[in-house]
Structure 1
Amino acid sequence: MPHSLPSSPKSTPKDGKNGITKFTNCRILKGDSLVDEDLWVNSVTGKVIKSQAAFYDDFILPDEVINLGGRILSPGFIECQLNGAFGFNFSTFLEPAVYAKKVKELNRRMVQTGVTSYVPTITSQKSELYQRVLPHLAPSGHVQVAEDGAESLGAHCEGPFLSSTKNGIHSVDVLQKAESFEDLVACYGAENFDSGDEFSPMPIKMITAAPEIGNMTKIIPEITSRGIIYSIGHSEATYEEASAAVRAGATMITHLFNAMRPLHHRNPGIFGVLGLAESLPRPYFGIIADGEHLHPTTVKIAFNAHPDGFILVTDSMHLVGLPDGVYQWTNGAGASHIIKKGTKLILEGSDRIAGSSITLVECVSNFLSWSGASVPQALKAVTSTPAAMLGLQGVKGCLSDGADADLVVLTEKRNPEGVELVVDEVWKFGTKVFSRS
């Protein structure tokens, strides 16, 4: 679904100001390079503007000129798999007003990590939970203002149409098989497949499902025809089955390598579709670079196999920002507990990894240290590449004229382990919403 222009200003400038800010002495992310160039943004429209047109054609001077002292100016980060953070889990039964309040609180805190837009993820649950919470997770750009913080780009339903042998920590008690598209409608709710309009957009943006379960591969075209991204995940699919899913319209793989048939030299499984012929587009794929889900070399192999499809995700749970301990989690048919020890999360009573508690900027820094990739390559994995996967090129994940003015100011620190990026400032729709100082 296209990201529509706002129907009202993102903010209202005061004291007769025009809302324009000029960033100078900065390194701007453009493609595969960091370019020494100024950037102008307008907090009234919430957009990046063409500086020469503003200055020479319209005779406009910026209200404020900010010297970034050579720091990096990146598009705001896009998080494509967020289960929750700061004590709030999206897969939770709450009163509607309380749930909406929790989402708003999370949005304001997420920007502190450099994330300006995200795809909230609902794990495998009973139908009642999907139908209750999905309306709260619809794309919020049409009503979002800068002070609201990060915005939802639409919900990711990770389940319940998954393989029972690759369920990870998803409860097998709520997993389903879909024989027709109507089974998805019955699960998620017909109203959540309503395309609506810019003021009431469809809540569902992406669905993760195992293509080999039921008739899912045959259903993929019906899913994608509605503007919903189909992602392969939690699956025992062979290379042939995964390839068939790509031919049917799958364009994403959920947390590559995790919860799927492992790579085998005689049948490379889902990973093998990254080597498909150019006549069949290779899918994008999520990578969790937290040091727990994947070995650093595995991350490097995935990147080298298909760098243009490489997307860093956190798969973070609600334990981000919380101290070590034991926490309750709504797990399908009942409640479970997750044990947090440092960055590692484990489902109580098992040895299964239960998502992560890492931030996206930490994933970027880890990837830089492990892969030998450049800073622009690492930043693309959380900006322009996820924007392309979500169909938001030119709107999110870039600093082109007319794009949303979602920005992150980064300090580049070098240490014995490699490069670390630190979030100094975050701007949403051309307005500063976070400063570390």
Structure 2
Amino acid sequence: MPATTRDPAPRITKFTNCRLPRGNQLVEQDLWIDSRSGRILKDQEAFYEFQLSPDQVVDLGGRILAPGLIDVQLNGAYGFDFSVPQSTPEEYEKGLHEVNRELVRTGVTSYLPTVVSSNPEVYWKVLPSLGPSGDHRRAEDGAESLGAHVEGPFISPGRNGVHKVEVLRAAHTFQDIIDCYGADNIPPRSEQTYGAITPPPAATSPIKMITAAPEVGDMMSNIREIVSRGIIYSIGHSDATYEQGLAALDEGATMVTHLFNAMRPFYHRNPGIFGLLGQSEYETEQHSRPYYGVIADGIHLHPTSIKIAFNAHRSGLILVTDAMKLCGLPDGVYEWTNGERIVKRGARLTLEGSDKIAGSSATLIECVNNFRRWAGATTAEAIRAVTEIPARMLGLDGVKGSLDSGADADLVVLGETDDPDAGPILTVDQVWKFGVKVYDAEKE
């Protein structure tokens, strides 16, 4: 993926005196990247076989060099809401580009722009701008879209959270889904037959993931069709029982949206959706345990709930922000997409006049720090939850979220400081996109 900037960037960069997350540990190891291809190099091959010499050597002084962070549930940030069409497509895309340039400063190099439950007209207008950024994207553009996450409107009215009930729908046929999102926004069905676990690679189409309640309407009978088109099906905003959750996995669901929130609570005689984490790794021939999102902002979940989920299924936990456009803005009262108002007090967002949680304003690195402290995870495990694991869930293993040779050279340099209240915290010191440095905290 070529990287283009106004000033030519050094082609070959060698990072040294750094620690890389490998598995569940940090390992002292050098890393080579190529800004021309935008990818990570195999260092021994680059030096011995191709006889390449680095154009620059970056001594990180013992800091952590990790893959760029991936957020699979981001509703907006810095005053821009992905669910709100602008007067023209050009104005919408201008706001989107501004978010991308700001977002990369938080360490997020890739994400799924998320559209909440809306009328069909909203999807038709905004989804064409939210698809994967593509091969011609420049490093200086900042964070890139990996495809849209449509959260609703096929969700349970009883588990809607702050999604407006009036726009919720029930799908009976796949045509109902097409009519809602728009035919041009859904990839065609693959001719090849795939199992329920691994969907085919998505065609060039905006939608990457759908969050829907399997028990609403006839959605259960449409999951396999959704997955056959390379779209990830995530169970969420759902009143599904444990048995209905298992049935959804059998049909091809592989993800759970913000575990514990907006779903039937755990009960000892009916564990609900959370019970899916208790399955053995291959409980049946049809499905394995799902991936699941966790909002570790200190508001959506109690720290112990996060620790329980992590201990139940470590390799499936994905940290998400569920952040809204208020992320990065000062405290106050703000208009929301459905005409209601959101109150922002620090990281806490609530629907005005109630205690209903209305998304998050935390950054992903803040969630990483919270998770590392609350769950007792190693630093490498916490990093995996925002890099390797979401990349694998998205079918991008080895392309994103990885430090293996051939992966995109999306990188974040993490420092560590001591907070008197929170203890050691990770900080975003540098961000590299496609092998080009696009953010340096020391120069801000």
Worse-matched range after superposition: 156-165 or 49-58: 49-58
Residue in 1 that maps onto 2:358? 354
Matched, 1:54 2:49: no
Match of 1:326 in 2: 333
Q: Does 1:259 align with 2:245?
A: no
1:317 aligns with 2:321: no
What does residue range 34-433 of structure 1 map to in structure 2 within 5 Å? 34-94=26-86, 95-195=88-188, 201-277=204-280, 278=282, 279=284, 280-331=287-338, 335-415=339-419, 417-433=422-438
Structure 1 residue runs without a partner (length 5+): 1-5
1:244-281 CA distances to partner (integer Å, 9 max, x unpaired)? 00111000000000000000000000000111232330
Note if contact 2:5-2:138 (Cα within 8 Å) is conserved in structure 1.
no
Q: Is the 8 A contact 2:187 2:230 kept in 1?
A: no
Report the Cα offset of residue 200 of structure 1.
8.2
CA-CA distance at 1:18 after TM superposition: 6.1
Counterpart amino acid of 1:69?
A: G
For residues 99 and 106 of structure 2, the distance between their equivalents in structure 1, rounded to whole angstroms, comes to: 11
Contact 1:12 1:44 in 2 (8 A): no
The runs of at least 4 aligned residues of structure 1 exceeding 6 Å deviation read 12-15
CA distance in 1 between partners of 2:116 and 2:427 (Å): 30
Q: Is the 8 A contact 1:235 1:259 kept in 2?
A: yes
* TM-superposition CA deviations, 1:317-354 (whole Å, max 9, x none): 000110011111112xxx11111011110111222100
In 2, the alpha carbon distance for the partners of 1:217 and 1:366 equals: 35
Following TM superposition, by how much is the alpha carbon of 1:418 offset from its aligned partner in structure 2, in angstroms? 3.4
- Residues 10 and 145 in structure 1, CA contact (< 8 A), matched pair in contact too: yes
Cα distance change of structure 1 residues 136 and 200 upon mapping to structure 2, 3 Å threshold: farther
Aligned residue number for residue 3 of structure 1: none
Distance in 2 of aligned mates of 1:362 and 1:69: 23
Q: Structure 2 counterpart of 1:72, which letter?
A: I
CA distance in 2, matches of 1:164, 1:199: 30
Q: Could you say what secondary structure the match of 1:157 adopts?
A: strand
How far the C-alpha of 1:397 sits from its partner, in A, is: 0.3
> Counterpart amino acid of 1:327?
Y
* Distance in 1 of aligned mates of 2:62 and 2:24: 18
8 Å Cα contact 1:252-1:283 kept in structure 2: yes
Confirm or deny: 8 A CA contact 1:82 1:121 kept in the other structure. Answer: yes
Deviation at 1:201, TM superposition (A): 1.5
Q: For residues 236 and 355 of structure 1, what CA distance do their matches in structure 2 show? A: 19
Are 1:78 and 1:118, in contact at CA under 8 Å, matched by a contact in 2? yes
Note if contact 2:83-2:116 (Cα within 8 Å) is conserved in structure 1: yes
TM-score, structure 1 as length reference: 0.95
SS at match of 2:404: coil
Identity of aligned residues (%): 59
How far apart are 1:33 and its partner, in Å? 1.6
CA distance in 2, matches of 1:390, 1:65: 33
Uncovered stretches (5+) of structure 2, i.e. residues with no partner: 190-200
The answer to whether structure 1 residue 436 and structure 2 residue 436 are counterparts is no
Cα RMSD after superposing both structures: 1.8
Q: Deviations over 1:273-299 (max 9, x none)?
A: 111232330000000000100000001
Deviates most, 160-169 or 135-144: 135-144
- TM superposition shift of 1:369: 1.3
C-alpha contact 1:142 1:199 (8 A) present in aligned 2: no
Distance in 2 between residues matched to 1:423 and 1:232, nearest whole Å: 32
Shift of 1:181: 0.6
Q: CA deviation at 1:199?
A: 13
Contact kept in structure 1, 2:117 and 2:163, CA below 8 Å: yes
Indicate if the aligned counterparts of 1:368 and 1:418 stay in contact, CA closer than 8 A: no
**Counterparts of 1:172 and 1:63 in 2: how far apart (Å)?**
57
Alpha-carbon distance in 2 for matches of 1:263, 1:141: 41
* Residue type of the alignment partner of 2:18: C
Task: Please report how far the alpha carbon of residue 195 of structure 1 lies from its aligned counterpart in structure 2 after TM superposition.
Answer: 5.0
The code of the aligned residue for 1:219 comes to N
Distance of 1:398 and 1:409 partners within structure 2: 14
Q: CA deviation at 1:419?
A: 2.8
Residue by residue, what CA displacement relative to the aligned partner does 1:148-171 show, whole Å, maximum 9, x if unpaired? 100000000000000000000000
Q: 2: CA distance between counterparts of 1:430 and 1:76? A: 11
Aligned residues: 426
Give the 3 Å change call, closer, same or farther, for CA 155–31 of structure 1 in structure 2: same
Q: Which amino acid aligns with 1:172?
A: V
Aligned to 2:198: none
Shift of 1:143: 2.3
